[in-house]
Each structure stands twice: as C-alpha cells, then as structure tokens.
Structure 1
Amino acid sequence: MICMQKMGTRSIALMLIVLLAATSCSKNKRPTSLKPGKTSSKTGLAYNGKDGFEVKQYKALPAGPDLVYIEGGRFTMGSLEEDVMTRRDNPKRTVSIQSFYMDQTEVANVHYLEYLNAVQRDSSEEFYSKALPDTNVWFNELSFNDSYVTMYLRHPGFRLYPVVGVSWVQANDYCAWRTAAVSQANNTAGAAAAGGKKKKGFSFGKKKKAEGEAVATAEAAAPAPQLRIESGYVMPPYRLPTEAEFEYAAMAMIGTQYSDENQSNSRIYPWDGSTMRQPRGRKQGTMLANFKRGPGDYAGIAGKSNDGAIITQEIRSYPANDNGLYDMAGNVSEWVYDVYRPLSNSDVNDLNSFRRDGYQDDSKNYDTKNANSLVDDKLRVYKGGSWSDVAYWLSPGTRRYMDQDSATAMVGFRCAMIATGSHKE
C-alpha cells in the first residue's frame, strides 16, 4: 500500500514537472520570421489590430518548380587549371556566396516552346519574332547539320534536349516570363489565403498589338498588384545565376568537407578526381559529361560510345553533382548574369561577387574602335563547357564571353533565384 502511494506521488510529481516545462516553453517560444507572434516584442503593441501594424502569419511558400536549394558559404573562385588561353582573367580568390536556388537542369526545348506559346498568345508579333531561338546556329557550310536546323527545337524527339540558339537577352526575357507564370499560381493561392479575390486570367507583357510595341519588361512580369511583398506570397524573380553563383554551385564543395570545416580536397570539375569517367561502382568507366575528347572525336566508337552523345543529350542523362544539379559541366555551356571584364575576379566584392557593368573598368579603356579589343558593356560571360568543347572548358573556373545578342549551338541557360529567410529541410 505504501509502495503504491509512493508510485502515485512520483507520477503526480512527474506530470507537474512536464506541465511546468511545457508552460515555460510556450512562454519563452522564440518568434521567427514566419511566426512573429501576436504582439511586437519591442513595443508590446498588438499586430493586426484596428489601428495596428499588419503582420500576417503565413505558411512559407515552397521553392519554385525544379529549383534546388544551394547552401551558401565560402569557396575559392577561379581556375585550378593552367591558363592555356593566357588571358589571366580567372585568378584564384576566396569569396563568400549567400544561399540561393538554382535550376536542377538546363532549360530544355519543351520549356522554351512553352514560353514561345505564351508569348505568341499574349504579346506582339514583333516580340514573338525576337523571342525565337536562332536555329541557324546549327548550319555550317562544310557540315550536313541541316536536319538540326529544322528539327532540333521542335521535334518531339528533342523535347528534353537543352535549348540552344538563345542569346543572353532572350534568356533574361524567359526569366521574366517564368517569374510571371509561376507567380500566377502563387498569387491565386496567396490572394485566397490573404482574403483577397482570385485574379482571373494571365498574360505576359500584353500590349496593343496594333501599335507593335515591344514588351517583356520587368514591370510586365510583376506579380498580381493586389498582393504586396509583405504578404509573403510574392515570388522572388527568376534570373540568370551570377558567375560566382554558377561556379560555386558547379564545384559543389559541400561534398568534400568534414564536420570541422576542413575539406578533404579541391575540385577541378564538378566531381572528384582529374578524370572524366566514373572511378568506381557498377558504371565504372562511363563518362560523367558529354564533351569533345579530341579532334573529330565527339562520342567514341559505335557500340562503345564514350558519352552517348554526338551533340547535346537529354537533361539528366549524366550524374548530378553533390548539390543535385545536372550538367554543370558538358552538354551546353550556360549564360551567366555578369558583364565580362578581364579583372573581375580581382575587382568585385568578396561577398556575393558580381559585375553588372563597367564600373571601375569603363569600356572606353579598351580599344574596340581599332579592333584591338572586344571588351564592352554588352559582352557577357558563359561557363560550364559544352558537347563541342575539350575537357579544359568543363572546369567551372574557366571563363569565356560573347556579345549578349549572339547565340551558338553550344550555349544554353538555366535560372536562379534568391533564397529568402532561413531554410529548413
């Protein structure tokens, strides 16, 4: 009897302790950006009152379709390869990159055709014509690539091959349209959650076609006007990744580190080692990317094709890197946001490095009039190496450039987006 009384007393005591702990936790619960609480921790005034400050609590939006979260950090930017071009434009430098999102894959033909369909319906004929990829990038007087000119973009067999023939300007227009398209779904859900009205219909840059106005401005891609940024349901804009973001995401150094911030090795390519083949496992010896092994060798011999692709290949055909990103080397090179300058790695800030124009290195310093230089503010960087490149260009630290209105069969793109607030799996 005494033993049972002791057990009962002990149980009651444990219950009281649990209740006290729960009460204490609820009182001391830390406010977060997503759940800031009902009152201001600085003034004590209630949020969302009749005359109060509106601070709605909301459920965080999921990342946009196909986006992969890239945790930020420091890394050594620049090439680890010998500077065979002797440009001296990619010296090594330690920089830090804020967390961001990046497309898991390159934008494929089917994705760009979706964009063209929307533009054709909602924009002027002039802008639709400007949005079309240049399919003649496949044409060569001394090659029979004619079938790619007519088939590559639109034939169903090439749907998931990366789009090419797209200029830097066209890639940015796609990013603006995608922002509007994805925001439409979020705005519909957000307006309902915020108690607003659903917006009917959607158009991208719809203007008076009779006037032939060019469209596709950032304003045309803005989210529905009834939702403010403070609502939390406004999608950050899609954009091209910066050069530093692309290089950081491609290197994927998160796969080489120990728990104490030391890294076991650096990387020449988006994978470990100095070779282009799987070093071990069931697929040992197979290629990790498609590229040109040497003069005239785009794929190896029939039956033992080294990478399975004479030209481009379907997205996700080769292993993802440690960030979960596909084709960060090979397949097609990719446009990045930056203007090209030879000394960018030395000049730009060491936090979120980016060169938007010729600041501190004006184009007038370069002799373009006498054809002694190509450098101006319309020259944009592309990275990653392509199906037509030798292995040297597959190293993320290498840099090349091209006019922002130019296009080739070797350059495509993918999108990126800022990561807002904290990230929890």
Structure 2
Amino acid sequence: MNFSKYLRFAVVGACALAACKGGPPTATKPGKYSSTTGIEYNTEEGMRVSDYQGIPEGPGLVFIEGGRTVLGSAEEDVAMTHDNIERTVTLASFYMDEAEVANIHWLEYLHFVRKDSAEEFYQSALPDTTVWARELSFNDPYVDYYLRYPGFRYFPVVGVSWLQANDYCTWRTAKVNERLAGEGDEGDSGSSKGGGLFGRKKKKGGDAGDAAEGTSEDGGKTKIAIENGNTLPNYRLPTEAEWEYAAQALIGTQETGNENQENKRIYPWDGRQVRNPYGKGMGQFLANFKRGRGDYAGIAGSLNDGAMITEYIYNYPPNDYGLYNMSGNVNEWVQDIYRPLSYEDVEDLNPFRRNGFLDPSEKYDKKGYQSLIDDHVRVYKGGSWRDVAYWLSPGTRRFMAEDSATATIGFRCAMINAGSNK
C-alpha cells in the first residue's frame, strides 16, 4: 500500500473517530467509514453495512418498556403452594401481542400449513376441539362450531397444547419475515434502490457477514440475514416473568420522576374490585371469569357481560400497556417449565427457567404418583372464564403437561426488543 493510501485512511479514520458529520455513529447512522479502522464500508475491501431504520414493525405487537419490578403473588396463598414469593427483578424491554391468538389466526395457520407442510404435521396442528365435551354438560355445539364458525372468529383459540403454541410461533416468524421480504423486493419499505429492509443481492460471493440469498416472487435475489436487520426477531411464548410484568402494567401507577414503585396492583387494574368503578361502564366486570359456583355471567340485563364461556378478545378494557385480557377469558401458556422454587433459583435479570437446573426432576416422585412435576410440565397464567377471581392476579401460577390442552388455556406471542432498552 502506498503512502497516499495510508494518508487517506488516516484522514477518514480521524474524521470517523471525531464523528465529523452529525455526532457519534449509531445503529441507524453507522457512517461511511469504520470508527476504529477508518476503512470504508460497502467497498470491495470493506465490510458490508446495510441500511437499517430500526426493528421492523411486527403485526399485533405492543411495546412493553422494561425495568425493575417486584414479581410474586400479592394475594393470600389460598392454595398453600408458596411457589411465587415476592422478589425484585429487572426485565428488558420486549414486545407482546395486544390480544390472545384467536380462532381466525389459527385457521390462517392451518391454511398455510396444509399448503406447505406434510399431512402428518397438519394433523398435529389441529386443536383438540373435544376439550369442550363434558359428560354432564351440553357443550356439544362448541365441539363442532367454536373453532370454525365465523361468529367465533375473534374468540381465543383453545384446545392448543404448549407444543402446538410453540410451533405456531415458529411458523408466524417465518411467515411475517417472508412478507417483509416481499415488501422489500417491491420497494414498499420506502428505502432507496438496493437498500432498505430487503435490497436485492447484486453479486455472488462476499465475506461471512454477507446475507444469505432468498428468491422473491419475481425471481430477484433478496438479502436476508440478521446482520442486515431486515427480519423480525423470533415470535415466541413470553417468559413467565415477562408475562407477569406485562400483566401488572405498573407503568400506569408510576409518578413522573419518581423511581419508587409506591403502589402495587392485585389485578392488571387499580383497586381490589373486579367491577369498573367509574363512568358509563360503572358496575361492569373488568374481566371474564367465574363469579361463584354456577355463576359464569350474572343475571340477564345491563350488568351481564354475556361471557358464559370465552369472549371476544377485545371485549374488556386493556391494561396500561394496551394489552387485552391479561386476566380472565383464557389462561395463557408461558415458556417456563414449572418448579415450585423458581423464585429462589432463577436470576434477577430476565429470570427464566428452561430446565431443571438446580432443581432436577429426579427430586420429584412422579413414578410413585407423589408428584406431577417433571421437565415436561409448563406454567400457565392469568385465569380463565372457568376460574374464580383469585386466579386473575398476575402472581398466581399453575402448570400442566406441555402436550395437554383444555378449553381454558390459550396463548399470545412475545418478541425481544433488539438493540434498545426503550
């Protein structure tokens, strides 16, 4: 390399280090040159750095700003499980579906699975509609109609196991990113030609950081890679800590400039009552749950919410994060396996139990019928249309085998907030 080339690198390197134009480099404005070597990006010699305008918008997701909180049950432990004692943790910001996954969403899933997958997998994706069947109750119509009849389109899907819910998350990730890829090819992202979310790959080869090729509908090559920021992170089930934090929605009790959390909620709304105390909706229930023995909906009239079983996923007021039905309607699967002492074992930053580490399944006598716990039971949260108000509190938790399903458990998806804490 000759002296003039060294000099040019020195000049551009100094300019980059001094952040000549517009301040220090950022993820969305990395600059033209490396701030450590001075080498120009997107040249034959330099590394490829794609245009990036921030994480693409994920359909149906609401941003949940993370922070410090106290997780755990705020209610009297009437079940005597002592499995969710209060402790202080910190959660990173994330995204969560504003409402439960509904029947229409699952039917869409089945539509594409039938087109793109083996018949065996399609059969495995079908919800268990027989969860409605009861020997001493006439729920027979729900067995046939609840999933497929148009009137139930935006009721939460049920009869879905934890394993099936995970498969849905995997499919949804692929389908949403496939759509983003198509939009990028057609220039819908608003970026300049060759850039933006999905610019076309113009030449073969490149270094290890280059994108993998994918073929668009018009035959063009798209650049799809994590490094390009042109895909959404994975849709997934929320962790138990994320779900509980989002359900509390304590951001609605926070005073500006005060880092002390002086109020805690029993439910995802203020107060100890389960009816709306204000305005035109005064007296109406704030969630879909069982009021008492034999009372699923109240008497006919203005205070009857009409929810004998599940209900429209947007039917009750959202919490302060904008999330609907974080209490009642259906319980919801979360990622964690169940252990009664998770609150003692997991870390205090993004707590999550993925396995039996520190609390192995061998300690639980399932073979001798003294326990129901092993590494295949998963936590579910939130209470349902068939549960009493105790289970509406975000700190309560129960568990069930990951391959089982009921008429009272559904789910919603979550996603990390990549590259930012706000």
TM-score in same-fold range (> 0.5)? yes
**Is 1:415 aligned to residue 413 of structure 2?**
yes
Structure 2: which amino acid aligns with 1:75?
Answer: T
Report the counterpart of residue 247 of structure 1 in structure 2. Answer: 244
Taking the TM superposition and a 5 Å limit, the aligned residue runs for 1:38-53 are 38-53=32-47
- Work out whether residues 289 and 307 of structure 1, in 8 Å CA contact, stay in contact via their aligned partners in 2: no
Unaligned runs of 5+ in 1: 1-23, 202-223
Provide the C-alpha distance between the structure 1 equivalents of 2:252 and 2:245, rounded to a whole number of angstroms. Answer: 12
In 1, Cα distance between equivalents of 2:271 and 2:284: 14
2:327 touches 2:383 (CA, 8 Å); kept in 1?
yes
Q: Quick one: which of 101, 110, 115 aligns to 1:121? A: 115
Matched, 1:316 2:314: yes
Q: Decide whether the 8 Å contact of 1:258 with 1:264 is kept in 2.
A: no
**1:85 pairs with one of 79, 90, 106:** 79
Give a deviation string over 1:223-256, Cα, whole Å, max 9, x none.
x984121111022110000000000000001000
Are residue 161 (structure 1) and residue 177 (structure 2) matched? no
Aligned to 1:19: none
**Structure 1 segment 343-382 matched on structure 2, within 5 A:** 343-382=341-380
Asked if 1:195 is matched to 2:211, the reply is no
Of residues 102, 113, 134 in structure 2, which corresponds to 1:108? Answer: 102
Is 1:261–2:259 an aligned residue pair? yes
AA at the equivalent of 1:195: R
Helix, strand or coil: the match of 2:215? coil
Root-mean-square deviation over aligned CA pairs: 1.9
2:175 corresponding residue in structure 1: 181
Instruction: Tell me whether 308-317 or 26-35 shows the greater mean CA deviation.
Output: 26-35
Q: Which stretch has the larger CA shift, 256-265 or 85-94?
A: 256-265
Q: How far is 1:261 from its partner?
A: 1.3
Residues 290 and 385 of structure 2 are in contact (CA less than 8 Å); yes or no, is this contact kept in structure 1? Answer: yes
Q: Give me the whole-angstrom Cα distance separating, in 1, the residues matched to 2:19 and 2:37.
A: 22
Displacement of 1:188 in angstroms is 2.6
- Corresponding position: 1:60 with 2:54: yes
Q: Does the CA contact (< 8 Å) of 2:133 and 2:139 recur in 1?
A: yes
TM (norm. structure 1) is: 0.86
User: 1:186 & 1:345 partners in 2: Cα distance?
Assistant: 39
Q: Is the 8 A contact 1:89 1:345 kept in 2?
A: yes
Structure 1 residues 256 and 153: CA distance shift in structure 2, 3 A: same
Preserved contact between residue 188 and residue 198 of structure 1 (Cα < 8 Å): no
Which piece of structure 1 moves more, 55-64 or 131-140? 55-64
Q: Which moved more, 1:184-193 or 1:256-265?
A: 184-193
Question: 1:5-84, aligned counterparts within 5 Å?
Answer: 27=21, 29-84=23-78
**What is the alpha-carbon distance in structure 2 between the residues aligned to residue 245 and residue 423 of structure 1?**
14
1:341 alignment partner AA:
R
Residue identity matched to 2:378: R
Give the C-alpha shift of residue 305 in structure 1: 4.1
Residue 56 (structure 1) shift: 2.0
1:125-140 to structure 2, matched below 5 A, reads 125-140=119-134
Shift of 1:262: 2.4
Give per-residue Cα distances to partners, 1:287-318, cap 9 Å, x unaligned. 11010010000000011444321111001100
**Which whole-Å CA distance do the structure 1 matches of 2:77 and 2:420 have between them?**
39
Residue 292 in structure 1 maps to residue 286 in structure 2: no
Contact 1:290/1:308 (8 A) holds in 2: no
- Would the aligned equivalents of 1:87 and 1:342 in 2 still touch at CA under 8 Å? yes
Aligned to 1:7: none
SS of match in other structure, 1:94 = strand
- Secondary structure of 1:165's counterpart equals coil
Q: What is the one-letter code of the residue matched to 2:402?
A: Q
Call closer, same or farther: CA 1:28–1:234 in 2, change over 3 Å.
Answer: closer
Cα offset for 1:91? 0.4
Give 1:17's aligned residue: none
The answer to which of 134-143 and 258-267 deviates more is 258-267
Q: Secondary structure of the residue that 2:180 maps to in structure 1?
A: helix
Change (3 A) 1:26 1:281: farther
Corresponding residue SS for 1:401:
strand
Give yes or no for the alignment of 1:333 onto 2:344: no
Moved over 4 A (4+): none
Maintained 8 Å contact 1:188/1:199: no
Count of matched residue pairs: 380
1:422 Cα shift? 2.6
- Normalising by structure 2, report the TM-score: 0.87
2:227 corresponds, among 220, 227, 230, to: 230
Query: What amino acid does structure 2 have at the position aligned with 1:127?
Result: F
Q: Aligned equivalents of 1:307 and 1:392: distance in 2? A: 19
Which one of the candidate residues 131, 135, 145 is aligned to 1:141? Answer: 135
Determine which of 61, 83, 90 is the counterpart of 1:96. 90
Deviation digits for residues 76-119 of structure 1, max 9, x if unmatched?
A: 11100011111110100000000000000000000000000111
Report the Cα distance in structure 1 between the residues aligned to 2:371 and 2:165, rounded to whole angstroms.
26
Q: Which amino acid aligns with 1:241?
A: P
Q: Deviations over 1:171-206 (max 9, x none)?
A: 0000000001101012234456323387346xxxxx
Q: Structure 2: how far apart are the matches of 1:116 and 1:347?
A: 39
| 1:213 counterpart residue number | none
Contact 1:287/1:307 (CA < 8 Å) preserved in 2? yes
